[in-house]
């Protein structure tokens, strides 16, 4: 890790997770939620009846909105998540809360143990700090390989991506063909703002990761995620030692 990187200390309270619920914001959320439900129903009708539609849930705020929309509407959409083995404790707590709240058992995929052992023995326990290449290799073992298993046999997958989250996510469409994985990729919340996401969570009392209140807007593996300062980009806490243009693990962009 770059020795010159200093971690920014967060402010004592995170206003982003508690937006003012103005009438305009309430109306915007209602309209976008209706549109997202319609989008999801159409996707379920097209792909869900044969079990060929799945939702990749990483338990961030956006994914919790989608979880609530899918489960409240009882749509025929599978929900899965990737457990990299290095998630924060708060994420595991949320997984248990979601299963209890909605009365479901989520499909969890783990990385291949032999591949993880080989990576760690060869490169070290925290090798991802040493170079972008090693960080992407770690993501490949812990995320990409399990994702391929999760998407096997599917014709479409749903994500909680928003265009405003990162410079690497501009130019995306609500529906696009994922050439890397060979199936349709659906992004129902693409045009939602952060305030709209949090307004939905507050209005419908949706469970969420406690780290969000501690200035973690984007949450991944514990050693690769930090809190951000007020005004920083929402993805600034992910792989903060890297250039912003490299800050993807490969789940949502083609690795070159």
The chain-wide mean pLDDT, for the chain, equals 90
| Reported pTM | 0.87
Q: What CATH number corresponds to the domain at position 130?
A: 3.40.50.620
Q: Nearest-CA neighbor of 84 among 149, 27, 140, 33? A: 140
pLDDT given for residue 207 in this prediction = 98
Could you tell me if residue 159 is inside a domain?
yes
Could you tell me if residue 109 is inside a domain?
yes
Could you tell me if residue 4 is inside a domain?
no
Could you tell me if residue 2 is inside a domain?
no
Q: What 3-state DSSP class applies to 56?
A: strand
| Cβ-contact 56, 147 below 8 angstroms | yes
Range(s) of the domain holding residue 119: 15-246
How many domains are contained in the chain? 1
Token reading at 237: 């806490």
Could you tell me if residue 253 is inside a domain?
no
Cα dihedral sign, 3-131-111-250 = positive
Could you tell me if residue 251 is inside a domain?
no
Could you tell me if residue 252 is inside a domain?
no
Q: Could you tell me the CA-to-CA distances from 109 to 146, 162, 197 in Å, in that order?
A: 6, 24, 26
pLDDT given for residue 125 in this prediction = 97
pLDDT given for residue 85 in this prediction = 97
Could you tell me if residue 234 is inside a domain?
yes
Q: Is 139 a catalytic residue?
A: no
Q: Per-residue pLDDT for 139 more than 80?
A: yes
């Amino acid at each position: 890790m770059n020795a010159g990187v200093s971690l920014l200390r967060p402010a004592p309270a995170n206003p982003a997770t508690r937006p003012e619920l103005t009438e305009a914001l309430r109306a915007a959320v209602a309209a976008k939620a209706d549109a997202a439900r319609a989008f999801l129903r159409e996707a379920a009708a097209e792909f869900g009846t044969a079990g060929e539609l799945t939702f990749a849930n990483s338990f961030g705020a956006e994914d919790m909105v989608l979880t609530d929309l899918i489960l409240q509407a009882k749509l025929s959409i599978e929900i899965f998540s990737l457990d990299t083995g290095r998630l924060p404790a708060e994420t595991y707590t949320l997984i248990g809360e979601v299963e209890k709240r909605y009365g479901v058992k989520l499909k969890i995929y783990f990385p291949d143990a032999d591949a993880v052992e080989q990576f760690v023995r060869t490169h070290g326990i925290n090798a991802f700090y040493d170079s972008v290449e090693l960080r992407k290799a770690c993501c490949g073992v812990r995320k990409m390989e399990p994702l391929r298993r999760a998407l096997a046999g599917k014709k479409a997958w749903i994500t909680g991506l928003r265009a405003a989250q990162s410079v690497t996510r501009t130019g995306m469409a609500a529906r696009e063909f994922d050439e890397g994985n060979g199936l349709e990729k659906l992004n129902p919340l693409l045009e939602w703002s952060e305030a709209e996401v949090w307004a939905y969570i507050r209005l419908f009392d949706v469970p969420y990761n406690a780290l969000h209140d501690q200035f973690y807007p984007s949450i991944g593996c514990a050693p690769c995620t930090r809190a951000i300062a007020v005004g920083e980009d929402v993805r600034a806490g992910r792989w903060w030692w890297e250039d912003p243009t490299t800050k993807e693990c490969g789940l949502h962009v083609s690795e070159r």
